[in-house]
Amino acid sequence: KAGVTQTPRYLIKTRGQQVTLSCSPISGHRSVSWYQQTPGQGLQFLFEYFSETQRNKGNFPGRFSGRQFSNSRSEMNVSTLELGDSALYLCASSLETGRANYGYTFGSGTRLTVV
Amino acid sequence: AQTVTQSQPEMSVQEAETVTLSCTYDTSESNYYLFWYKQPPSRQMILVIRQEAYKQQNATENRFSVNFQKAAKSFSLKISDSQLGDTAMYFCAHRNTDKLIFGTGTRLQVFP
Protein backbone atom coordinates (compact mmCIF):
# COMPACT_ATOMS: atom_id res chain seq x y z
CA LYS A 1 0.00 0.00 0.00
CA ALA A 2 1.60 3.27 -1.12
CA GLY A 3 2.26 5.89 1.53
CA VAL A 4 1.63 9.60 1.44
CA THR A 5 3.41 11.12 -1.54
CA GLN A 6 4.55 14.71 -1.61
CA THR A 7 6.00 16.47 -4.61
CA PRO A 8 8.39 18.05 -5.19
CA ARG A 9 10.87 17.09 -2.46
CA TYR A 10 12.90 20.26 -2.82
CA LEU A 11 12.04 23.67 -4.15
CA ILE A 12 13.90 26.96 -4.39
CA LYS A 13 11.87 30.09 -5.07
CA THR A 14 12.51 33.81 -5.10
CA ARG A 15 10.82 36.28 -2.79
CA GLY A 16 7.53 37.46 -4.25
CA GLN A 17 6.91 34.35 -6.31
CA GLN A 18 4.21 31.83 -5.63
CA VAL A 19 4.50 28.09 -5.16
CA THR A 20 2.22 25.06 -5.28
CA LEU A 21 2.93 21.88 -3.36
CA SER A 22 1.19 18.59 -3.95
CA CYS A 23 0.15 15.74 -1.68
CA SER A 24 -1.36 12.38 -2.59
CA PRO A 25 -2.81 10.62 0.48
CA ILE A 26 -2.97 6.93 1.18
CA SER A 27 -5.66 5.30 -0.89
CA GLY A 28 -8.95 5.46 0.97
CA HIS A 29 -7.89 8.31 3.25
CA ARG A 30 -10.19 11.28 2.84
CA SER A 31 -8.61 13.65 5.34
CA VAL A 32 -5.47 15.56 4.38
CA SER A 33 -3.69 17.99 6.68
CA TRP A 34 -0.76 20.30 6.09
CA TYR A 35 1.91 21.35 8.57
CA GLN A 36 4.81 23.76 8.43
CA GLN A 37 8.02 22.82 10.23
CA THR A 38 10.69 25.40 11.00
CA PRO A 39 13.55 25.41 13.52
CA GLY A 40 12.12 28.46 15.25
CA GLN A 41 8.40 27.71 15.36
CA GLY A 42 8.45 23.93 15.29
CA LEU A 43 5.50 22.10 13.75
CA GLN A 44 2.48 24.25 13.09
CA PHE A 45 -0.88 23.29 11.65
CA LEU A 46 -1.85 24.98 8.40
CA PHE A 47 -5.18 23.45 7.37
CA GLU A 48 -7.13 20.25 7.05
CA TYR A 49 -9.35 19.08 4.21
CA PHE A 50 -11.97 16.39 4.18
CA SER A 51 -14.02 15.48 1.13
CA GLU A 52 -12.90 18.62 -0.72
CA THR A 53 -13.94 20.91 2.15
CA GLN A 54 -11.64 22.82 4.44
CA ARG A 55 -12.54 21.61 7.91
CA ASN A 56 -9.99 23.42 10.01
CA LYS A 57 -7.49 26.22 9.55
CA GLY A 58 -4.44 27.29 11.50
CA ASN A 59 -3.23 30.75 12.26
CA PHE A 60 -1.50 31.60 8.99
CA PRO A 61 -1.98 34.59 6.69
CA GLY A 62 -4.24 34.41 3.67
CA ARG A 63 -1.21 33.94 1.42
CA PHE A 64 -1.43 30.31 2.42
CA SER A 65 -4.26 28.45 0.77
CA GLY A 66 -5.14 24.94 -0.18
CA ARG A 67 -7.63 22.73 -1.87
CA GLN A 68 -8.57 19.10 -2.15
CA PHE A 69 -9.71 17.29 -5.25
CA SER A 70 -12.34 14.59 -5.65
CA ASN A 71 -9.63 11.90 -5.56
CA SER A 72 -8.49 13.30 -2.16
CA ARG A 73 -5.24 14.65 -3.54
CA SER A 74 -4.46 18.02 -2.07
CA GLU A 75 -2.46 21.05 -3.05
CA MET A 76 -1.31 23.98 -1.01
CA ASN A 77 -0.36 27.30 -2.47
CA VAL A 78 1.72 30.09 -1.02
CA SER A 79 1.59 33.42 -2.82
CA THR A 80 3.96 36.37 -2.52
CA LEU A 81 6.65 34.29 -0.90
CA GLU A 82 8.65 35.74 1.98
CA LEU A 83 11.99 34.61 3.34
CA GLY A 84 10.22 33.38 6.48
CA ASP A 85 8.21 30.90 4.43
CA SER A 86 11.32 28.77 4.07
CA ALA A 87 10.39 25.54 5.81
CA LEU A 88 9.64 21.88 5.53
CA TYR A 89 6.01 21.44 4.55
CA LEU A 90 4.51 18.16 5.68
CA CYS A 91 1.32 16.58 4.51
CA ALA A 92 -0.54 13.97 6.54
CA SER A 93 -3.51 11.79 5.73
CA SER A 94 -5.87 9.94 8.03
CA LEU A 95 -8.68 7.52 7.52
CA GLU A 96 -11.36 9.50 9.26
CA THR A 97 -11.96 12.74 10.99
CA GLY A 98 -14.21 13.52 13.93
CA ARG A 99 -14.36 9.86 14.95
CA ALA A 100 -11.93 7.19 15.99
CA ASN A 101 -8.54 8.17 14.75
CA TYR A 102 -5.79 5.68 14.08
CA GLY A 103 -3.14 8.27 13.64
CA TYR A 104 -1.93 10.45 10.85
CA THR A 105 0.44 9.12 8.22
CA PHE A 106 2.92 11.71 7.04
CA GLY A 107 4.73 12.17 3.76
CA SER A 108 8.43 12.95 3.49
CA GLY A 109 7.73 16.62 3.05
CA THR A 110 8.67 19.36 0.63
CA ARG A 111 11.67 21.48 1.58
CA LEU A 112 10.95 25.01 0.39
CA THR A 113 13.75 27.55 0.33
CA VAL A 114 12.92 31.18 -0.43
CA VAL A 115 15.85 33.33 -1.55
CA ALA B 1 -4.97 27.07 24.89
CA GLN B 2 -3.98 23.54 24.06
CA THR B 3 -0.27 23.01 24.57
CA VAL B 4 2.22 20.16 24.50
CA THR B 5 5.50 20.46 26.41
CA GLN B 6 8.62 18.38 25.97
CA SER B 7 11.14 19.53 28.55
CA GLN B 8 14.11 17.51 27.30
CA PRO B 9 15.64 19.04 24.16
CA GLU B 10 18.25 16.29 23.92
CA MET B 11 18.74 12.84 25.35
CA SER B 12 21.32 10.14 24.81
CA VAL B 13 21.34 6.45 25.61
CA GLN B 14 23.64 3.53 25.06
CA GLU B 15 22.57 0.75 22.75
CA ALA B 16 20.44 -1.93 24.50
CA GLU B 17 19.63 0.39 27.38
CA THR B 18 16.26 1.94 28.25
CA VAL B 19 15.38 5.60 27.91
CA THR B 20 12.26 7.60 28.81
CA LEU B 21 11.17 10.76 27.02
CA SER B 22 8.85 13.12 28.86
CA CYS B 23 5.77 14.93 27.63
CA THR B 24 3.08 16.94 29.36
CA TYR B 25 0.02 18.49 27.75
CA ASP B 26 -2.87 20.73 28.53
CA THR B 27 -6.40 20.15 27.35
CA SER B 28 -9.95 20.81 28.44
CA GLU B 29 -11.31 17.84 26.53
CA SER B 30 -12.34 14.65 28.30
CA ASN B 31 -11.59 12.31 25.44
CA TYR B 32 -8.68 12.80 23.10
CA TYR B 33 -5.76 11.10 21.43
CA LEU B 34 -2.06 11.35 22.14
CA PHE B 35 0.74 10.31 19.83
CA TRP B 36 4.47 9.91 19.71
CA TYR B 37 6.10 10.48 16.35
CA LYS B 38 9.69 9.82 15.31
CA GLN B 39 11.44 11.95 12.71
CA PRO B 40 14.76 10.54 11.52
CA PRO B 41 17.13 12.52 9.26
CA SER B 42 15.07 11.35 6.28
CA ARG B 43 12.47 13.88 7.56
CA GLN B 44 9.47 11.58 7.41
CA MET B 45 7.33 11.64 10.53
CA ILE B 46 6.71 8.07 11.61
CA LEU B 47 3.96 7.15 14.07
CA VAL B 48 5.51 5.30 17.00
CA ILE B 49 2.56 4.83 19.30
CA ARG B 50 -0.90 6.22 20.04
CA GLN B 51 -3.03 6.40 23.14
CA GLU B 52 -6.74 7.04 23.51
CA ALA B 53 -7.43 9.03 26.65
CA TYR B 54 -10.45 7.01 27.72
CA LYS B 55 -8.36 3.82 27.76
CA GLN B 56 -6.64 3.43 31.09
CA GLN B 57 -4.29 0.75 29.84
CA ASN B 58 -0.96 2.09 28.63
CA ALA B 59 -0.28 1.50 24.94
CA THR B 60 2.59 -0.76 23.92
CA GLU B 61 4.21 -1.37 20.53
CA ASN B 62 7.08 -3.83 20.69
CA ARG B 63 9.98 -1.99 22.39
CA PHE B 64 7.95 1.20 22.78
CA SER B 65 5.53 1.81 25.62
CA VAL B 66 3.93 4.82 27.24
CA ASN B 67 3.19 5.86 30.78
CA PHE B 68 -0.09 7.73 30.49
CA GLN B 69 -1.13 9.65 33.59
CA LYS B 70 -4.40 11.34 32.68
CA ALA B 71 -4.87 13.29 35.90
CA ALA B 72 -1.33 14.64 35.70
CA LYS B 73 -1.66 15.18 31.92
CA SER B 74 1.57 13.32 31.39
CA PHE B 75 2.42 11.03 28.48
CA SER B 76 5.99 9.70 28.56
CA LEU B 77 7.55 7.32 26.05
CA LYS B 78 9.79 4.46 27.16
CA ILE B 79 12.11 2.87 24.63
CA SER B 80 13.51 -0.46 25.75
CA ASP B 81 16.54 -2.22 24.28
CA SER B 82 17.51 0.94 22.38
CA GLN B 83 18.87 0.45 18.88
CA LEU B 84 21.05 2.67 16.71
CA GLY B 85 18.09 3.08 14.37
CA ASP B 86 16.14 4.77 17.16
CA THR B 87 18.33 7.85 16.74
CA ALA B 88 15.90 10.60 15.69
CA MET B 89 13.80 13.53 16.83
CA TYR B 90 10.79 12.43 18.84
CA PHE B 91 7.66 14.52 18.94
CA CYS B 92 4.77 14.19 21.33
CA ALA B 93 1.44 15.31 19.86
CA HIS B 94 -2.10 15.86 21.03
CA ARG B 95 -5.03 15.62 18.67
CA ASN B 96 -7.32 18.60 19.06
CA THR B 97 -10.38 19.00 16.82
CA ASP B 98 -8.84 17.30 13.82
CA LYS B 99 -5.42 18.83 14.06
CA LEU B 100 -2.26 17.79 15.83
CA ILE B 101 -0.54 20.05 18.32
CA PHE B 102 3.10 19.11 18.62
CA GLY B 103 5.68 19.58 21.30
CA THR B 104 9.09 21.02 20.46
CA GLY B 105 10.68 17.61 20.22
CA THR B 106 13.44 15.65 21.92
CA ARG B 107 16.55 14.74 19.97
CA LEU B 108 17.54 11.20 20.93
CA GLN B 109 21.01 9.89 20.19
CA VAL B 110 21.71 6.19 20.64
CA PHE B 111 25.40 5.37 21.11
CA PRO B 112 27.01 2.00 20.36
pLDDT for the residue B31: 82
Each residue of B83-99: pLDDT tens digit?
999 999 999 999 877 78
Could B101 and A45 be called an inter-chain contact, meaning their C-beta atoms sit closer than 8 Å? yes
Name the residue type at position A92: A
- Residue ranges of chain A with pLDDT lower than 70? 1, 96-102
Could B98 and A58 be called an inter-chain contact, meaning their C-beta atoms sit closer than 8 Å? no
* Cβ-nearest to A97 among B45, B98, B104: B98
pLDDT for the residue B38: 97
- Residue ranges of chain B with pLDDT lower than 70? 1
pLDDT for the residue A47: 93
pLDDT for the residue B15: 98
pLDDT for the residue B98: 73
CA–CA gap between residue B72 and residue A104 (Å, rounded): 25
pLDDT for the residue B56: 82
pLDDT for the residue A101: 64
At A83, give phi and psi (nearest 5°): -55, -35
pLDDT for the residue A98: 56
Contacts of A45 in chain B (CB under 8 A): 99-101
Contacts of A105 in chain B (CB under 8 A): 47
